[in-house]
A and B are shown apart, each in its own frame.
Chain A
Amino acid sequence: MASVSGRFINQGFQTRLTYLATHARVVSALVMREMSTRFGAKPGGYLWAFLDPVSHIVFLSVIFMAIAHLPPLGTSFPLFFATGYIGFQFYQALAGYLNSAVSGNKALLSYPSVAPIDTMAARYVLQLVTTTIVAIVVLGYIVFTVRHPVSIHLPPIMEAIAMASLLALGIGLANAVLFVMYPIYEKLYGIVTRPLFLVSGVFFLPDSLPPIARDIVLFNPLAHIVMQFRTGFYPQYRAAGYDGFYVWTVAACLVFLGLVLFTTSRGRLRDR
């Protein structure tokens, strides 16, 4: 008896290994596919990933240099806006890309071995790596060219990235389903989240706002993420009001809800 049940357990384990191997294979194939459609099709390729943050940073720096004498932190406008914008992009670029992961790969879901969740995993990996490379290049360039030496502290930066990417994953999982089910919601979502950039503390510090405005802005977990990201570049920055526990809780809840929604409607995601 023992040997029989032992063999069954072994079989189950093997099946699970095969499943995992299939998922890993499919995700890596999707990553390669996404890379060639997203960057390979346009001339300039990967450079496009840099164009968006660089243009924003330059634009913000030029405008604010005209109005203000010094940035809210340190002396470099580009560093201030780069830390804000790129910290924000770890959420924004990822969420935007994940929202359309399933609809953008609809045709490929007719291959039985491609599961809807694989498209999410592939885009998550690809965008996280892309934003990280952009961050290293852009921030690295600024850090090495500013007059005053910058001391970089990695742990808060990495925590901010982890929080941002989980938040984006939760939102992306939920939206991938909801956009398909309720097209009207997609429109509303676009309108409601458009000002997100303005209220996430990208070009100001939430701690320097009047108390009421600050309390409202700090409901936005992204404001905390940007604050934490900046802490890694400005050791003197105290980030008053930063609440890591709050962000982790929101992120964990969103990922949980997103996964539940995604798993229960995966049949529907394939149908269309």
Chain B
Amino acid sequence: MIRLERATKEVRMKGVRKMIIDDVTVTFPRGKSIGLLGRNGAGKSTLLQIIAGTLELDRGRIIRQGKISWPLGFQGSFQGNLSGEQNVRFVARIYGVDTDELVAYVAEFAELGQFYHAPVRTYSSGMKARLAFGVSMGINFDYYLVDEITAVGDTNFKRKSQQTFKEKLSNSDVIMVSHSTGTLRDYCQTGIVLENGQMTYYDDINEAIAVHESNMKRH
């Protein structure tokens, strides 16, 4: 379970203030995957960072139970001078999972071949994405935070990653930000709409999508 209690967060970007959430209390129940909807700039990614714990609330608190991933689809956390394998070791160590096991898992999953032992700065963006996805699939999180998942690799790799992710979701939940309503329907059962600093929870993702779409038409 993840719960926000009277949570408030305001961000400043180049001097412009924007209220992301204003005194919000909401519970993300365990056992259901949630799609996060909102217009561009509403603060969906900021919210994911708050849930992950890399951003702090201005007021209120957040209660997290279970192991939460870093926002996936994000590739900036690899150290360019280290090899893919060394980066995987680092992640294994900070999350307290078996190092050799994760290294072996990612080696097989990401299909990087010899590049696995080369510095990450030599990787193409597709290779980085495969590495990132492999690492996150190799650790068993209770919640996967997904920021605009983009399919990577060739058709075979896409099929494989989708299949692996779906398997993961039998034991884990996902909190997902996506502009594609198809993807959201595919992965999520419930939804939250973020609008004007308020979050509204809907038991049914289709209802959340309908509300979001009518919000978009109003402006």
Contacts and interface: CB of A to CB of B under 8 A. Distances in A.
A108 B54 CA distance: 11
B194 to A, nearest CB: 20
Contacts of B94: 25-26, 29, 111, 113-114
B165 interface: no
B55 A271 contact: yes
Nearest to A33: B90
B86 interface: yes
Given A25-B94, A26-B94, A36-B86, A111 B79 contact: no
Interface in B42-100: 52-56, 68, 70-71, 74, 76-79, 81-82, 86, 89-91, 93-96
Contacts, number: 58
A107 B79 contact: yes
A96 B121 CA distance: 26
B7 to A, nearest CB: 14
B14 to A, nearest CB: 13
A267 interface: yes
A107 B76 contact: yes
A61 to B, nearest CB: 35
Given A36-B82, A107-B79, A112 B74 contact: no
Interface string A6-27: 0000000000000001100110
Q: Determine chain A's interface SS by DSSP, over half rule.
A: helix
Contacts of A33: 79, 82, 86, 90
Q: Determine chain B's interface SS by DSSP, over half rule.
A: loop
Interface residues of B, number: 23
Nearest to A266: B56
Nearest to A106: B76
Given A37-B81, A111-B77, A29 B90 contact: yes
A32 interface: yes
Given A25-B94, A29-B90, A29-B93, A110 B54 contact: yes
Given A267-B56, A270-B54, A108 B93 contact: no
A182 B144 CA distance: 36
A76 interface: no
A18 B95 CA distance: 12
Nearest to A25: B96
Given A111-B70, A112-B68, A112-B70, A37 B93 contact: no
A271 B54 CA distance: 8
Interface string A93-120: 0000000000000011111111000000
Interface in A243-272: 266-267, 270-271
The 7 closest A-B pairs by CB, nearest first: A29-B93, A112-B53, A110-B77, A267-B56, A112-B52, A26-B94, A29-B94
Interface of B: 52-56, 68, 70-71, 74, 76-79, 81-82, 86, 89-91, 93-96
8 contacts: A22-B96, A32-B89, A33-B90, A107-B79, A108-B77, A111-B91, A111-B94, A113-B95
